[in-house]
Amino acid sequence: MLCSSCGPWHDCRNPVDDEERHMHMSLCKYGPTADRRDAARVCRRPRTFIYGHVGRLDLPAQGEGAKDFTYVSGLAVRSSQGTYDFRDGDGIVPLLLRPLGRPGGCSATAAAVLAGEVLSRLEGFDFRGVPAHAQIADRVGAMLKRLLSGETALSLLASLNPKQPLFLEDQRHLAEAILQEVEAAEAIDVHTHLFSASHGETLMEYGIDAMLTYHYLVSEYLASSSESPKEFYALSRTEQAGRVWEGLFVNSTPLSEPCRGVLTTLSALGLKEEVAGRDLAAIRRWYAGQDAEMFNEKMMRLARLRYIVTSHDPFESDQLQHCLTPPTCPPRYRSALALDKLLEGDWPEVCRTLKGLGRPSTLGAATELARECVRAIQPVFITAATPDGFSYARDCVPDGLLEDNLSSASAPSPQQVLDAVILPLCREFDVPLSLRMGTRRAVSPSLGLAGDGVGSAELRSLGHLCEANQDVKFLFTVLSRTDQHEAAVLATKFRNLHLWGCWWYCNQPSVVSEVTSLRLEMLGTKFTFQASSARVHDQLIYKWIHARSMLSKLLVSKYTELMATGYRVSRGDLRRDVGRLLGGSFEEFLQKKL
């Protein structure tokens, strides 16, 4: 039996279940459906929280220019391919509007009703019961009718006086607009440790076991466990993940931010029932059915990221060859060259890497290796963590420093590494230097990666660095909450300095709220709001859900204060400002001429 409403394009003989059959027949009254997947997509409860779709456009005539462009944050028109992106929360809106495409079009009354049905999907909109809402539906329907009658979209838009800003008149509309803009904007994640599938399984991290064995959760678990770090690390990853799940999610209430993050991620992936049942085995079964490459791309789309910047460390054995001969990566992955071991003075690892390549253990050889990596991966910037007690006072570089043996007692200081190696590379390749400041390594060595702590950023030295190297761009973040005020002040003093994110231990809601409020008050939108520092692809979901929620709350407060002075805020103002906070200021800084 074929559906009488859908016609020959839609076979209703094999619905997924009775629920789908009921939903399908209720939807078919709105007009023909293109294929069975529309009904299935609407009827089956979604396992994710964003729906992105691709629509078709007429291909340009031969000889006509075909430009691709973004028409609203996160959505693009690809004229050359004849496609455009659009979003629809649950898939019903295209079905509601399908009668508009029938031969002969529809009446003005029908267009108004259909517009009202679509608008009624917004909370609080009732075109049948509220006269003012009915008027809005009529006006939107009239515009649809004009388009269906042959009027061009550009002509219609011109008649609406598009140059007049859409000002927000009250706090409710302001809050709704901020939430929509923050949720819709695509962000740039300027600091991650995420590698694409083309880098191989050892570097590409995703899945429930990878999330549960992330160093935040490992240190939280071991702090209260009778199990020693040595015993824990002797277990397989699967066993470690099981211990963490039992310890932090079953036998304890998962109140910490890293624990809540795991739950936010699983919930966003549609695994609420499994979480409610605390059923790790069921969660693992779900993950076992995912394709790694497609899954990781999905994580970035769900987090609404335009691209991420991944740190590549040539002095890590599993990353070296990828730094010298990088594999092809999807466009959402971009690179940074991490020289932490040079700046922090981990000379045994530096020498091991150079020896493995058959090169001398000198700073000159390390410099040449870094130069080759810059040429190969074409990084957005060079990045490094400063060591505990970092200082910079602009001393001169001693003669012969580049030729001295790094295994000797007179190894170069962090300042000498900067002046002799890293800053010259930045100048040679015209790339910024991003400093992560305030790490105290191996506070508890037995914990491995989980054993690092918080130190002082020594921001006076950053000021000296910016002053002495005004032709180099510096990005920076600080690890300690106590350094945040000085960091914001410093960011107002140097045009070659850009502040980003609440990094690592500062990525806690209470700290993010306090620090971002301070930065908005001191810097406006001239900083980058957040970066995930994610090592597992799944973490992108929760880190950006939590970050966007916090940003929306903070911006509502700030813009409410602004409007109280009589200053008028438009929707365009919000879109511009949100875009800057979520990566636009970062890109503006990269393009700035010093």
Sign (positive or negative) of CA dihedral 507, 513, 515, 516: positive
Please indicate, yes or no, if residue 132 is contained in any of the structural domains.
no
Please give the average per-residue pLDDT across 372-379, as a whole number: 99
Task: Identify the CATH number of the domain in which residue 280 sits.
Answer: 1.10.2020.10
Please check whether residues 477 and 584 belong to one and the same domain.
yes
Please check whether residues 540 and 564 belong to one and the same domain.
yes
Sign (positive or negative) of CA dihedral 413, 416, 421, 424: positive
pLDDT of residue 47 exceeding 70, the answer is no
CB 110 within 8 A of CB 99: yes
Please check whether residues 278 and 393 belong to one and the same domain.
no
Please give the average per-residue pLDDT across 12-37, as a whole number: 36
Q: List the structure tokens of 80.
A: 């050359």
Interior angle at CA 463, CA 462 and CA 468, nearest 5:
100
Would you state the pLDDT for residue 370? 99
- Which of 14, 32, 48 finishes a domain? 48
Please check whether residues 497 and 543 belong to one and the same domain.
yes
Residue 516's identity, in one-letter code, is T
Q: List the structure tokens of 394.
A: 């602009």
Number of domains composing the chain? 3
Would you state the pLDDT for residue 363? 96
In whole angstroms, give the CA distance from residue 414 to residue 363.
12
In whole angstroms, give the CA distance from residue 484 to residue 344.
22
Hey, what long-range contacts does 441-448 have (CB within 8 A, 24 or more apart)? 441/344, 441/387, 441/388, 444/229, 446/228, 446/229, 446/230, 447/215, 447/218, 447/219, 447/222, 447/229, 448/215, 448/229, 448/233
Could you report the per-residue pLDDT of 52-94, keeping only the tens digit for each? 567 777 666 665 666 788 877 678 888 877 788 877 666 677 7
Please give the average per-residue pLDDT across 540-546, as a whole number: 98
Query: Highest mean pLDDT: which of 118-132, 154-168, 445-459?
Result: 445-459
Please give the average per-residue pLDDT across 453-476, as a whole number: 96
Please check whether residues 478 and 579 belong to one and the same domain.
yes
Would you state the pLDDT for residue 59? 66
Q: What is the mean pLDDT of the chain?
A: 87
Could you report the per-residue pLDDT of 344-374, keeping only the tens digit for each? 999 999 999 999 999 999 999 999 999 999 9
pLDDT of residue 340 exceeding 60, the answer is yes
Would you state the pLDDT for residue 61? 62
Locus of tokens 């991003």: 434
Could you report the per-residue pLDDT of 390-427, keeping only the tens digit for each? 999 866 666 667 777 776 657 899 999 999 999 999 99
Q: How many CB atoms lie within 10 A of CB 129?
A: 8
- Which of 265, 289, 313 finishes a domain? 289
Task: Identify the CATH number of the domain in which residue 562 sits.
Answer: 3.20.20.140
Please indicate, yes or no, if residue 295 is contained in any of the structural domains.
yes
Residue 308, beta-bridge partner list: 189, 333
Please check whether residues 333 and 285 belong to one and the same domain.
no
Please check whether residues 232 and 352 belong to one and the same domain.
no
Cβ contacts of residue 140 below 8 Å, gap of 6+? 112, 115, 119
Please check whether residues 328 and 222 belong to one and the same domain.
no
Confidence of residue 102 (pLDDT cuts 50, 70, 90): low
Please give the average per-residue pLDDT across 472-495, as a whole number: 98
In whole angstroms, give the CA distance from residue 439 to residue 468.
24
Please check whether residues 268 and 330 belong to one and the same domain.
no
Confidence of residue 100 (pLDDT cuts 50, 70, 90): confident
In whole angstroms, give the CA distance from residue 507 to residue 523.
19
Please give the average per-residue pLDDT across 210-236, as a whole number: 97
Cβ contacts of residue 19 below 8 Å, gap of 6+? 43
Residue 384 sits in which domain range? 187-207+290-591
In whole angstroms, give the CA distance from residue 123 to residue 143.
22
Could you report the per-residue pLDDT of 256-288, keeping only the tens digit for each? 999 999 999 999 999 999 999 999 999 999 999
Please indicate, yes or no, if residue 86 is contained in any of the structural domains.
no
- Ranges of H-type helices in 13-130: 18-28, 36-43, 92-97, 108-119
Would you state the pLDDT for residue 26? 34
Would you state the pLDDT for residue 459? 97
Indicate the pTM of the whole model.
Answer: 0.78
- Ranges of H-type helices in 160-214: 171-184, 208-212
Please indicate, yes or no, if residue 531 is contained in any of the structural domains.
yes
pLDDT of residue 119 exceeding 70, the answer is yes
Locus of tokens 């875009």: 579
Please check whether residues 272 and 305 belong to one and the same domain.
no
Please check whether residues 325 and 279 belong to one and the same domain.
no
Please give the average per-residue pLDDT across 160-178, as a whole number: 84
Would you state the pLDDT for residue 409? 57
Residue 499, beta-bridge partner list: 476
Please indicate, yes or no, if residue 106 is contained in any of the structural domains.
no
Please check whether residues 541 and 429 belong to one and the same domain.
yes
Sign (positive or negative) of CA dihedral 22, 26, 27, 32: positive
CB 308 within 8 A of CB 186: no
